[in-house]
């Protein structure tokens, strides 16, 4: 709170110097972890994105789901795509469409986009969360490593029905 004397450019105390070096090393470690995981890790943020017209995407996914459906749950089509194929999920007020049936250990190209406003793709209980924007087609290459029924909830506020917006991914062993 007081103005220092004119000459305050002084050498550091031994303790300060130690802490500064330890801190710097720690920062380098934190930085290095991300590229290391990018190369070696199995869980990385997807980097493929395409521009898309929101309504065209909605029409495309609806046709794809109707053509490939194997079942329905509460009038929502259930699609069981072939392993390795492109899989589509549409977010809209207030639904994740359609229900997907995947196989454990198989890899899929999961496309995510929105028909209207922003949504949050939140897969539970795996706890995998991605942002979904209208106009952006986000492509994630995913491999389910656990089986069972997973809920897709919306975790980006999307107006009054936000807490009703759910979907489902079923993973068979």
Partner 1 sequence: MAVTTFPAARATFRTCPVTTLKVDIAAERLIIANAVAAVVFLALGGLFALLLALTRWQAIHLLPADWFYRVLTGHGFDMLVAWIVFFEVAGLYFGSAILLNARLVGPRLAWLAYALMVVGAVLVNVMVLMGQADVMFTAYVPLKAHPLFYLGVILFAVGALIAVLLFFATVWVAGREGRYQGSMPLVTFGLMVAAIIAFYTLVSGALAFVPAFLWSLGLLPYVDPGYFRNVFWSFGHPAQQINLAAMVAVWYALATITVGATPLNEKLSRLAFVLYALFINLGSAHHLLSDPGPGFAWKMGNTSYAMYLAVLGSLIHAFSIPGAIEVAQRRRGLTKGAFEWLRKAPWHEPGFAALVLSMILFGWIGGVTGVVIGTEQINMLAHNTLRLPGHFHATVVAGTTLAFMGLTYYLIPLIFRKELKLKKLAQWQPYVFGVGMFLTILGMIGSGLLGIPRRHWDITFTNAPLQVTLPGAAQITLAVMGIGALIAVVGGILYLAVVLVSVFTGPRVEASRLTLVMDRRNPLVEQAIPNMGKEVTEKIAPRGTVILTFAFLVFFMAYYLTNWWLLGRMWWIR
Residue 135: helix, strand or coil by DSSP? coil
Angle, CA of 119, 125 and 126, to the nearest 5°: 85
| Binding of partner 1 by 85 (CB under 8 A) | no
Q: Which of residues 50-69 bind partner 1 (CB under 8 A)?
A: none
The distance between the two most distant Cα atoms of the chain, rounded to a whole number of Å, is 80
Cβ-based nearer residue to partner 1, 11 or 67: 11
Q: Which of residues 102-131 bind partner 1 (CB under 8 A)?
A: 107, 112, 116-118, 120, 122-131
Show the beta-strand stretches assigned E in 74-134: 76-79, 86-92, 95-97, 99-103, 108-114, 119-124, 128-132
| Binding of partner 1 by 153 (CB under 8 A) | yes
Using CB under 8 A, which of the segments 62-70, 79-87, 153-161 binds partner 1? Answer: 153-161
Indicate which single residue of 77, 81, 91, 144 sits in contact with partner 1 (rule: CB under 8 A).
144
């Amino acid at each position: 709170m007081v103005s220092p004397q004119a000459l305050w450019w002084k050498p550091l105390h031994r303790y300060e110097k130690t802490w500064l070096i330890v801190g710097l090393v720690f920062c380098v470690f934190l930085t290095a972890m991300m590229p290391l995981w990018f190369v070696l890790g199995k869980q990385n943020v997807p980097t493929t994105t395409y521009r898309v017209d929101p309504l065209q995407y909605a029409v495309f996914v609806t046709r794809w789901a109707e053509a490939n459906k194997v079942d329905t749950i509460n009038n929502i089509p259930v699609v069981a795509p072939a392993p390795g194929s492109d899989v589509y999920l549409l977010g809209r007020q207030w639904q994740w469409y359609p229900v997907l049936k995947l196989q454990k250990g198989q890899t899929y190209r999961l496309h995510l986009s929105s028909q209207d406003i922003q949504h949050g793709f939140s897969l539970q209980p795996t706890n995998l969360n991605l942002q979904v924007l209208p106009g952006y087609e986000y492509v994630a290459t995913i491999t389910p490593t656990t089986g069972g029924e997973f809920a897709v909830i919306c975790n980006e506020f999307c107006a009054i029905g936000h807490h009703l917006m759910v979907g489902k991914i079923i993973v068979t062993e």
